[in-house]
A and B are shown apart, each in its own frame.
Chain A
Amino acid sequence: MTRSTSERVERPSRLGSAPPANMADTRPRKPAFTTRRGLGIAAFMAPAVLFVVVFIYYPMISGSQMAFRNWNLTDLTDTSWVGFKNFQAMFADPVFYTVLGHTAVWVAGSIVPQFVIGFAIALWLRRHFRFRGLYQALIFFPWAISGFLIGILFRWMFNSEFGVINDLLSKAGLIDQPIPWLADPKTAMIAITVANVWYGVTFFTIMILAALQSIPDELYEAASLDGAGKARTLFQITVPSIRATLSLTVLLRVIWIFNFPDIIFGMTGGGPSNETHIVTTWMISITQQGDYGKASATGLIVVTMLLVFSVFYLMATREKKGAKS
């Protein structure tokens, strides 16, 4: 039986023999690619690839084609191709642009406080103190709750007459009349954003805390010896060290918040008078009407928008990295 090329290449390093004197790189060599090895890799990857294809790509492609058809659940006897008619209908609807505006407010209003508060909590949790594990568990807890359930909880908390928020504000002497939080378009947007901030802070905390723990203590000790203050340490050691994690976390959260209808559905259902609808809640309301063609067109518009945003965002963050190096 002949030995494979990869084994022959790997053998010297396994035996620990010294590399030739003119060889600068002492790292173990990458095994050569063979058909047999390729088949092995493919066999191991196949279940995962199959899973992704069957449960993600197939439904995605199958769903996307509805955007170009007359696909209405109320009458599926005629599902003919209609070209871009569903897209035209979406772009011709003035509510769509209002909803886009709400989405921008929802994403920006949620991401900034989530980031700032999440970062602050992560810095606090990095320190060693008694019951730190318990605090961590309590802070991470909201992430385990369903978004829709959080929406329902906050709906009752923000209820003007029976809610705890108005009760607390009233007892603190801050208001003398109950605020109709979910009945007024402006306060309704604030209420849903507050609920989302409460929910999403956790994710930033988890991610940033994990990144913070990878920064060597020596860096902080050296900075301290050099007389660096807290702000300088934060902006010249902490932030640069975890920049990649911060960029990725912000990107992920923007995409998720954009696609996060749960809380809004539980709290306002997009009301009052469509004033808290974001693109994804709007899309769901279209599916509830049975118009899967139009809903699918909206979905494709959302995917395109997020794709464009992600490309620009990644390009922007990559430039910064290049400038630094």
Chain B
Amino acid sequence: MRRRKATFALGLATAMALTGCAAGVSDGTVTIHMVESLTNPTRTAVLKTLIAQFEKQNPKIKVDLISPPTDQADQKIQQMLQSGTGIDALEVRDITAGPWSTNGWLYDMSKELQSWSGWKNLTENAIKYSKDAKGRTDYIPYGFYGLSLFYRTDLVAKKGFKNPPASWDDLLTQATAIQDPSNHQYGYAFRGGTNANSNAVAVIEAYVADKIDLDNGFKLTDGRTIFSAPEALNALNTYFKLFKQASPPSSVAWGYPEMVEGFSNGSTAFLLQDPEVIATVGQSQVINKSQWATAPLLTGPSGKAIQPVATAGWGTAASSKHKAETAKLIEFLSQGEASTTFTKENSLVPILQGASEDTFYKTGPWASYLTMTENPSKYITVTQPRSSSWWTEWIQKSDAEVQKVLLGKMTPEELLASWDTYWTEKWKGQ
């Protein structure tokens, strides 16, 4: 009898463990598993604070935040989505949204968010990115990334320039003037390593600004690729001159960390980066706040600049058993104080209308973003085909080819021909 009881108890315990039967479930408490992707300690801390506020407002919902290391996060999320367990809310990036949605891993939140009052407070861009081409709401953006030029005010003034560079040609002139390798002073923090393609594409887009397709930043209005335009070669010639004349030779291998370090430790005078760098440069022990500022994105010969929009947001896993509760969490994070706190603390362009009226966004390094927002005909926002399923393949191909040009193994003409063929064939196959 005792043996039978023990067996029964053991069986019950095993069953409870296997089914994840927790004490909380019996009192109606639901636990949402949330996974973030672009993890960093500061951001995770902010997110935890916001989650605590949400839990306080919703005592029957608990949120378990999972923060894998950034480098492996998307792969980890993919595995969780594929297995169909242990994930409710997740961070969806514009580059992961396409494939994850195609595989049926993301839940279309249209139904849950239909009556959400927060829609009316979102910016035009936030609403646009909340719906995909098929009208699905796979994620609500939490903020936007956008390029601006970080520059050394003291070095620019020392060389007799009254204003920071406004165009790519200005940048080449000023960076060349500042370059002094014998004193370990370089002009531009060139991106030759991981994601080298992004700045090369930015300069090409600026040079073809008058005829670019706003819905596809890699396409001209006549349907051909931007890489086929004659202006693209001029753009690349200027860009690669910037490497030869005004950048550290080792920047062939520079990715995000080296670029930011190069600017923060005073080695380089110019840096093209997202606003998240504001906080990092602000902590520099080598240059103080009076020695640097930001300027709007560089223009091409037509006086226009093209701002590629990059974003990420919060979505729901198709396998989630708590879709309504997850939608509640996403609504909370996408509105009011929670959204503003998240964008401010993470140096993101806000998703809420009027948030840019905050003095935070009007002063200091953020002022250039306001300038860009207030001049939409000069600083034109375009959508890049970042949700294409072949985007990662493109990144790897284009990065390697930019490095080939820098190492003299390929000409800019060959690079443009290669990129033109690549995208033309991809679009044909769609």
A-facing residues in B399-414 (Cβ within 8 Å): 399-401, 403-404, 406-407, 409
Judged by a CB distance under 8 angstroms, whether B193 is at the interface is yes
With contacts A75-B389, A161-B184, A290-B99 known, is A272 near B250, CB below 8 A? Answer: no
Q: Are A162's CB and B261's CB within 8 A? A: yes
Task: Give the residue name and chain of the B residue nearest to A148 (CB).
Answer: B71
A74 near B99: Cβ-Cβ < 8 Å: yes
Nearest A residue to B394 by beta-carbon distance? A289
Q: Does A107 contact B (CB under 8 A)?
A: no
SS of A interface (majority): loop
Q: How far is the CB of A291 from chain B (nearest CB, A)?
A: 8
Distance (whole angstroms) from the CB of A133 to the closest CB of chain B: 35
A161 near B252 with CB under 8 A, answer no
**Proximity bits, B374-411, A CB within 8 Å = 1, else 0:** 00000000000000011011001001110110110100
A73 with B250, Cβ < 8 A, contacts A162-B265, A271-B399, A273-B409 known: no
Given A74-B98, A162-B261, A290-B392, verify A180-B249 contact (CB < 8 Å): yes
B355 shortest CB reach to chain A, Å: 34
Number of A-B contacts (CB under 8 A): 89
A159 touches B258 (CB 8 A): yes
Query: How many B residues, CB 8 Å from partner?
Result: 38
Whether the pair B99, A73 counts as a contact (CB closer than 8 A) is yes
**A161, B267: Cβ atoms closer than 8 Å:** yes
Q: What 0/1 readout, one digit per residue, does chain A (73-98) give for beta carbons within 8 Å of chain B?
A: 11111000000000000000000000
Number of residues in A with C-beta < 8 Å to the partner? 30
Cβ 8 A contact of B253, one of A73, A76, A188, A290 = A188
Tell me if B's interface is mostly helix, strand, loop or mixed. Answer: helix
Tell me the B78-126 residues at the A interface (CB within 8 Å): 78, 82, 98-99, 102-104
Within 8 Å CB of A185, what residues of B?
Answer: 407
Judge whether B99 and A159 touch: CB under 8 Å.
Answer: no
Contact of A75 among B78, B102, B249, B393 (CB under 8 A): B102
How far, in whole Å, are A180 and B258 apart by their CA atoms in the complex?
A: 13
Q: What separation, in Å, do the CA atoms of A180 and B193 have in the docked complex?
A: 13
- Residues of A within 8 Å of B401, CB to CB, are 273
Chain B's closest residue to A72 (CB) is B389
Whether the pair A272, B192 counts as a contact (CB closer than 8 A) is: yes
Residue numbers in A under 8 Å from B392 (CB-CB): 288-290
Interface residues of A in 155-184 (CB under 8 A from B): 159-162, 177-178, 180-184
What is the bound-complex CA distance between A228 and B260, given in angstroms? 61
- A181 and B399: CB pair below 8 A? no
New contact pairs (7) apart from A273-B404, A273-B409, CB-CB < 8 Å: A74-B98, A178-B250, A180-B250, A181-B250, A184-B252, A188-B253, A290-B99
- Interface residue ranges, B against A (CB under 8 Å): 78, 82, 98-99, 102-104, 181, 184, 186, 192-194, 248-253, 255, 258, 261-262, 265, 267, 389-390, 392-393, 396, 399-401, 403-404, 406-407, 409
Residue contacts A-B, CB under 8 angstroms, 28 given: A72-B389, A74-B98, A75-B99, A75-B389, A76-B102, A77-B102, A77-B104, A159-B258, A160-B248, A160-B249, A161-B250, A161-B267, A177-B181, A178-B250, A180-B253, A181-B250, A183-B249, A183-B251, A183-B252, A184-B252, A185-B407, A272-B252, A272-B253, A273-B400, A273-B407, A274-B400, A289-B390, A290-B392
